[in-house]
């Protein structure tokens, strides 16, 4: 078979690849329309960065003396500090060692941030976005359930991570008991222990953070953003120490980010995996079916 004929067969309706890419393009277009109508500005930040946020279990591929980003978060927060108030970005991100039916080392991320907002505001945005996308796909939006981390761990894992924090046990139970045991439909799992705050604001012993699942598949991770440069520096130091304990590579600190962080005042933001969202909207059971060229 000639090369041209092979290509024609590959992108045929029967194969499904071309149809999936058309559906993906429509979903991404609907996302842009959603944010543009609500006064958000689409931004583009560098894919190659010098200092990723140090987080255990998230490894950025090296690119010369720099790294390919795992998220545009730090760069987008710099734009908030510079005075932008409603921003969103859709672009490529990279994480080493992530393979499987729900993971790929290169993927597409949607992130948006709002100044003077909290994680409840971003949840409202998210619910409105999903309602619009499911409607555009001609499907009913799944039922939504709101759960807290404390009540969910007590019910499904039999312990309270707020009373006896154990990072390894928390992560293991999340993967083996919590996510598989969540109700069907959309689930907002909120209010994490302060030790799992990462870049989130802490209120008492609660990190203002939620994660969104659809039928057990994680779609999004949201914070009311920490805007205290010194506290963020301490958390970065703790994260670097944990990475060393796990024998993971070290990252330099983004000093510009830490200096600019207090200029934000208050904000909230969320990261949504576009490829997983396309999976959910199109009924695919493998992330590679929802990715262009994969």
Question: SS3 for 165-213, per residue?
Answer: CCHHHHHHHHHHHHHHHCCCCEEEEEEEEHHHCCCECEECCEEEEEEEE
pLDDT of residue 276: 93
pLDDT of residue 27: 96
Please determine, looking at this structure, whether the domain spanning 3-290 carries the CATH number 3.30.70.270.
no
Q: Mean of the pLDDT values across residues 84-94?
A: 98
Q: d(Cα 206, Cα 210) in Å, to the nearest integer?
A: 11
Q: d(Cα 171, Cα 185) in Å, to the nearest integer?
A: 22
pLDDT of residue 20: 84
pLDDT, tens digit, for every residue of 18-77?
Answer: 888 899 999 999 999 999 999 999 999 999 999 999 998 899 999 999 999 999 999 999
The pLDDT confidence band at residue 139, using thresholds 50, 70 and 90, is very high
The pLDDT confidence band at residue 10, using thresholds 50, 70 and 90, is very low
Q: d(Cα 250, Cα 252) in Å, to the nearest integer?
A: 7
pLDDT of residue 255: 97
Q: Mean of the pLDDT values across residues 172-177?
A: 97
Residue 16 has pLDDT above 70, yes or no: yes
Q: Mean of the pLDDT values across residues 75-103?
A: 89
Residue 100 has pLDDT above 60, yes or no: no
pLDDT, tens digit, for every residue of 238-277?
Answer: 999 999 998 998 999 999 999 999 999 999 999 999 999 9
Q: d(Cα 267, Cα 274) in Å, to the nearest integer?
A: 22
**Exposed/middle/buried for residue 132 (C-beta within 10 Å: 0-12, 13-18, 19+):** middle
Residue 293 has pLDDT above 80, yes or no: no
CA dihedral 238, 239, 243, 244 (to 10 degrees): -20
Across all residues in the chain, what is the average pLDDT? 91
The pLDDT confidence band at residue 102, using thresholds 50, 70 and 90, is low
Q: Mean of the pLDDT values across residues 186-205?
A: 96
The pLDDT confidence band at residue 97, using thresholds 50, 70 and 90, is confident
Residue pair 113/266 in contact (Cβ under 8 Å)? The answer is no
Give the tokens for residue 35. 């944010």
Torsional class of 262: left (φ above 0), alpha (ψ -120 to 50), beta (otherwise): alpha
Give the number of other CB atoms < 10 A from CB of residue 258.
16
Q: Mean of the pLDDT values across residues 177-192?
A: 97
* Nearest by Cα to 268 from 44, 111, 130: 111
Residue 131 has pLDDT above 80, yes or no: yes
pLDDT of residue 2: 44
Residue 163 has pLDDT above 60, yes or no: yes
pLDDT of residue 283: 81
pLDDT of residue 5: 46
pLDDT of residue 4: 44
């Amino acid at each position: 078979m000639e090369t041209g004929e092979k290509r024609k067969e590959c992108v045929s309706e029967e194969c499904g690849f071309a149809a999936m890419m058309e559906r993906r393009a429509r979903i991404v277009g609907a996302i842009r329309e959603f944010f543009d109508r609500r006064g958000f500005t689409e931004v583009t930040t560098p894919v190659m960065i010098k200092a990723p946020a140090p987080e255990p279990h998230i490894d950025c591929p090296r690119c010369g003396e720099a790294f390919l980003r795992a998220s545009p978060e730090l760069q987008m927060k710099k734009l908030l500090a510079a005075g932008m108030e409603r921003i969103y970005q859709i672009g490529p991100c990279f994480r080493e060692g992530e393979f499987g039916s729900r993971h790929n080392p290169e993927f597409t991320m949607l992130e948006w941030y709002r100044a003077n907002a909290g994680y409840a505001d971003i949840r409202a945005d998210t619910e409105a976005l999903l309602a619009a996308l499911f409607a555009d796909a001609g499907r009913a939006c799944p039922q939504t359930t709101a759960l807290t981390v404390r009540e969910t761990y007590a019910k499904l894992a039999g312990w309270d991570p707020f009373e006896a924090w154990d990072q390894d046990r928390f992560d293991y139970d999340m993967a083996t008991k919590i996510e598989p045991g969540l109700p069907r439909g959309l689930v907002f799992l909120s209010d994490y222990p302060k030790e799992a705050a990462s870049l989130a604001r802490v209120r008492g012993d609660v990190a203002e953070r939620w994660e969104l699942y659809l039928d057990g598949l994680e779609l999004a991770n949201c914070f009311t953003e920490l805007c205290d440069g010194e506290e963020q520096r301490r958390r970065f130091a703790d994260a670097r120490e944990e990475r060393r304990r796990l024998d993971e590579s070290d990252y330099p600190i983004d000093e510009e980010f830490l200096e600019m962080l207090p200029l934000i005042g208050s904000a909230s933001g969320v990261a949504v995996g576009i490829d997983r969202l396309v999976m959910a909207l199109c009924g695919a059971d493998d992330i590679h079916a929802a990715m262009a060229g994969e």
